[in-house]
Amino acid sequence: MPGMRSLWQLSGQILRKQKPSVVSDYSYFVNDLAKGRKPSPLRELMKMLATASSDIIFLAEGLPHGDTHPFNEARFSLKDGSHITLSGKTLTSALQYGPTEGYPQLLQRLREFQERFHNPPGLDDRDIIATVGAQDGLCKMIELCMDFGDPVVVPAPTYSGVLAMLRPYRPEFLSVKEDKYGMCPYKLRDELNRYWSISHNSMLKPPKFLYLNPTASNPSGTVMPIERKKEIYEVASDFNLLILEDDPYYFLHFDDKEPQSFLSIDTEGRVIRFDSFSKVFSSGLRLGFITGPRPLMQVVEYHMQASVLHTSSLSQVIALKLLDQLGWDGFIKYMENIREFYMKRRNFMSEVAKKHLQGKAEWTMPDGGMFLWIKVNGVPDVYDMVMKRGVHGKGVMFVPGHAFMPDPTLPCPYIRASYSLAPLEDMDQGFARLAELITEEKKLHLK
């Protein structure tokens, strides 16, 4: 009898020759813990209530009566001079328990959102769930897939938040280096082939998913072009991987048009997309949404039924009213203004970096996002320089690149600087201090 590994290799060879048109068995990607989740009868009743006729007598759930809410009206003044007012039944709904998958009217808007900006094949076969920020959806998706010791495919560098989700599983990281356009497809294929060939151990597991942050990636600021996405999608298809498309910075690219997403080319049902309003409306709203194949979204929903119940109804109603008020054309204009704001700050930080760090460090102009990813020359490991001598000696704070590496114990010469929030004069002063810090650090290494 062939072992698990040889069966997987055979399966991979077949996949490369006769790729399936769609993913046929989503249970393959779901771990035993997630398979054990069952629908909550009470939560299912809430779903039914959301679409029930007005004459139904509801005696099922213990929902607090709206008359006990202390709020009578909520009014938000927008910076364009307009207002959003929540009162009456709308406010009562915003303050009440809701269906786990999300506020129904918002879900309809989000479906329109995906159709307008991504137009994915087979949208009717996908579900959308409102989550507590994109990170909540991403965490739940990882929890339904991962088992202890599983391999997982990530770019290098990788968003630190997803590494924090993955490390408790003690995975084998299949780390694929980036260039200025993001993860390299040929390096991805080479790494997967390498993993296949390293051992004949019958207990070796195949990876189930590939994590990517394709637009204005955190920390490197790369924007992956569609040609590269198509190549990566082909590799994912060959090796039967799900693609976790974590895209909270989607509208913070600095190009003239929106990038085409993995979701937009997903003909096989292997992309799970994570969107967020945190970077464009408010991070404090804690509102994102996950879009994916219905069988997987059902497992995510069952997890939410047992954990958060649902994303804040108030946050969902505020976002809905804002989207309604803007309209899609107004939303696009709003995004253009957001992009212009951050692009000016990126340009300023790039100038002060040239002013102070020329010859001391290297960086590539980010194509989007909020960060400058800097390689310090002549300092093989920046951790103590940043975390000790930088904070306590120079009064300047950056993030050491170790936070974005699958193995944070290895020496790392990179740091991440954010241009999203600091006053411009502080950026200039901060980089002047960084230049002094690098000079002093090099002298320490020469001793």
- CATH class of the domain defined by 29-42+74-328: alpha beta
Q: Which residue in 204, 189, 197, 178 sits closest to 241, CA to CA? A: 189
**Span 307-320, average pLDDT:** 95
Ramachandran area for residue 407 (φ above 0: left; ψ -120 to 50: alpha; else beta): beta
Residue 312, pLDDT > 80, answer yes
pLDDT, tens digit (0-9, with 9 covering 90-100), for 82-141 = 999 999 999 999 999 999 999 999 999 999 999 999 999 999 999 999 999 999 999 999
CB 252 within 8 Å of CB 370: yes
Q: Structure tokens of 188?
A: 């991805």
201 pLDDT more than 60: no
Kindly tell me if the per-residue pLDDT of 1 is higher than 70.
no
CA distances 221 to 41, 98, 218, 262, 275, Å, are 44, 37, 6, 18, 17
- Per DSSP, the residues of 356-412 read HHBTTEEE---SBSSEEEEEETT-S--HHIIIIIIIIII----EEGGGGSSSTTS--
Could you give the percent of the chain with pLDDT greater than 70?
A: 93
Taking residues 186-202, report their average pLDDT. Answer: 82
CATH 3.90.1150.10 fits 342-446, yes or no: yes
pLDDT at 50 over 90: no
Residue limits of CATH 3.40.640.10 in the chain: 29-42+74-328
CA–CA distance, 141 with 127 (Å, rounded to integer): 14
Q: What's the rounded mean pLDDT across residues 294-305?
A: 95
Share of the chain above pLDDT 90, in %: 82
Please report where in the chains the tokens 């306590």 appear, as a residue: 392
9-23, 148-162, 344-358: the lowest-pLDDT one: 9-23
* 206 and 13 Cβ atoms separated by less than 8 Å: no
Average pLDDT, rounded, for the chain: 91
- The pLDDT, as a whole number, for residue 392 is 92
Give every CB contact of residue 442 below 8 A, 6+ residues apart in sequence.
Answer: 378, 379
Provide the pLDDT for residue 40: 78
Looking at residue 4, its pLDDT comes to: 38
Q: Rounded to two decimals, what is the model's pTM?
A: 0.92
More confident residue, 82 or 45: 82
Q: What is the mean pLDDT of residues 50-77?
A: 81
User: pLDDT tens, 314-329?
Assistant: 999 999 999 999 999 9
User: Which of 207, 297, 224, 299 is CA-nearest to residue 264?
Assistant: 224
Place 263 in a pLDDT band, splitting at 50, 70 and 90.
Answer: very high
Listed in order, the ranges of the chain carrying CATH 3.90.1150.10 are 342-446
Please say if the pLDDT value at position 8 is more than 50.
no
Say what the pLDDT of residue 203 is.
67
At 66, list the tokens: 């709206």
Sequence-ordered list of residues with C-beta below 8 angstroms from that of 330, at least 6 positions apart, any chain: none
Indicate if the pLDDT at residue 288 is higher than 80: yes
261-297 b/e with 16+ CB inside 10 Å = b? bbbbbbebbbbbbbbbbbbbbeeebbbbbbbbbebbb
Q: How confident is the model at residue 10 (pLDDT cuts 50, 70, 90)?
A: very low
pLDDT at 204 (0 to 100): 77
Place of tokens 């399966």: 11
User: How many Å apart are CA 386 and CA 279, to the nearest integer?
Assistant: 26
Strand partners, 209: 242
Looking at the DSSP bridge assignments, the partners of residue 273 are 245, 291
Q: Omega of the bond prior to 411 within 30 degrees of 0, cis?
A: no
Residue 12 clears pLDDT 60, i.e. is over it: no
- pLDDT over 70 at 2, yes or no: no
